[in-house]
Amino acid sequence: MAVVLAALGALALPAGAADDRGPGVDDEVRGYAAEFAVPGMVAVVLGPEGRVTTAPHGRTSDGAPVTADTRFRIASMSKAFTAVAVLQLAEQGRLRLDQPVAELLPGFAVADPRGASITVRHLLSHTSGLAAADVDEFALPPAASSSALVEGLREVPLAHDPGTTHEYVNANYVVAARIIETLADRPFGEYLRDAVLLPLGMRATVATDRCDAGVPGLPLGHAGALGIQVPVPEIPAFCAGDGGVVTTATDLTRWLRFQTGDGAPLLTQASLRQAHTPAPGTDGRYGLGWSVRTTDDGGTRVLHGGALTTWTSGIELSTTGSGAFVLTDAAGAPGMLAARMVAQADGRDPGPPHTDPMRPVNLVLLGLVVLAAALLTAAVLRAGRRARALGGRRRAFSLPAAAVVTGALLLPVVWAVGAGPSWTGWLMLLWMVPPAGALVLVLVAGGAAALVARSRARRVQLPARSPSACDASAAAVRSSAS
């Protein structure tokens, strides 16, 4: 049955023009790759007239040229697939979007009685009341299953009344995936394959439960900064329903056509519009699996990004029927490029090309690394001279001690500004901003080395100190007293 659906889906997709690569798109992709130092990427533009332009660039970490059939992780762009699966179940009458989750998942609960009013729509629009600061989504080891992660939510409080505040939390979509598993009585990835992927003809696409899951033909992504990129494994995390899709440009083009209303009829147009329309409680920012933005001229942008530590992606749809997506195997801002290409496809001015916002940050961090390394190395080398000059006395200010304290304080500071409550979250930030990790290492290790060197130098100097007159007088008093 799945094979028949796949064939029907392939026939339902309008052919459009063949991969007609325009030099403008190629130039945009080359410029982006150079600016963000991306080793491998591919961009696809769907024009309002149905023409498809595909622009692959670079090589994978395995050394193979990137093509339209190269596999990429798309991270949070996966959420729109989960939303489609849920909307299908709603159209089949197997659930209601405004139905309480607890009715569909017996035993579902959070550490707040308000959790009983969380609905399916709240999950898909990130208005469940859960807060990212309270959900350790990067705990090690990762959750063993979606049911295990849902069970762990029993200990998590709510930060908001359900349905009132939009706060992006990946766990919302893991709960949605668990609802699908429960209703279908099969693993989420299998259900998504048969209900969504194969009917669209997306035969090279898979949905994994882990962000770091091995997939045949999928190379490593990259981490780096300032033009240096190194292939590294993805940090382990549970991703079922919220970020585990691995796909190709060829397959994702079929998804793009479907989302612009020109593909296989998996959903009614009413359900598709609902996914692209701001949901209640989101302040007009999020639909069901999609971010929504209002343009300066009153139009609507429907988009979503995806970011892991070694892969980033972005997709955008236009009300004209055009759209674009960008898949990369390194950190960056591919959503910006997708937006530029949609503007060009619609005949609008895309504005100046975007620059890497992290370059000045990384340059400053690198400068601090070099400065800290130089000062602390000098402190180690001059420990003996300093001890002789001080004659055993201590100064109120110690550069090595200040370095150690500063490096240690960077950990809670980074947690506070967005890495989350887990050590893995902090590690993810260092994976994406390597100079920050280098700075912490230099401050803590270099400061500790300088403190040890100074302590040893003081111990060497103290026995060599000549007895003072005061010392001699004190010894005489002790002698007479005895």
Instruction: Name the one residue in this structure whose structure tokens are 């994406």.
Output: 432
Q: Which of 107-121, 288-302, 438-452, 462-476 has the highest mean pLDDT?
A: 107-121
Domain of 49 in residue numbering reads as: 2-345
Does residue 290 share a domain with residue 371? no
Given this model, what pLDDT does residue 198 score?
Answer: 97
Alpha-carbon torsion (392, 396, 397, 403), positive or negative: positive
Residue 115 has pLDDT above 70, yes or no: yes
Res 14 pLDDT > 70: no
The token pair at 12 is 């339902």
Confidence band, pLDDT 50/70/90 cuts, at residue 412: low
- Give the best-scoring range by mean pLDDT among 8-22, 244-258, 456-470: 244-258
On whether both 122 and 72 belong to a single domain, the answer is yes
Domain check: are 89 and 202 in the same one?
yes
Q: Of 345, 375, 407, which residue constitutes the final position of a domain?
A: 345
CATH of the domain at 104: 3.40.710.10
Contact assessment for residue 309 and residue 329, using Cβ atoms and an 8 Å cutoff: no
* % of the chain residues with pLDDT over 90: 65
Residues 365 and 332 in one domain: no
Residue 14 CA to residue 200 CA, distance in Å, equals 12
| Cis omega (within 30 of 0) for bond into 400 | no
* In a shared domain, residues 316 and 420: no
> Maximum Cα–Cα distance for the chain, whole Å?
111
pLDDT of residue 161: 97
**Using one digit for the tens of pLDDT, what is the confidence trace for 173-189?**
999 999 999 999 999 99
Looking at the fold, whether 291 and 406 belong to one and the same domain comes out as no
In a domain, 471, yes or no: no
pLDDT tens for 217-272 read 999 999 988 888 999 999 899 999 999 999 999 999 999 999 998 767 899 999 99
The domain total for the chain is: 2
Q: Are 88 and 120 in contact (CB under 8 A)?
A: no
- The Cα 1–Cα 159 span in angstroms is 44
Cα separation of 268 and 235, whole Å? 38
Q: Is residue 353 part of a domain?
A: no
pLDDT band at 434 (very low <50, low <70, confident <90, very high): confident
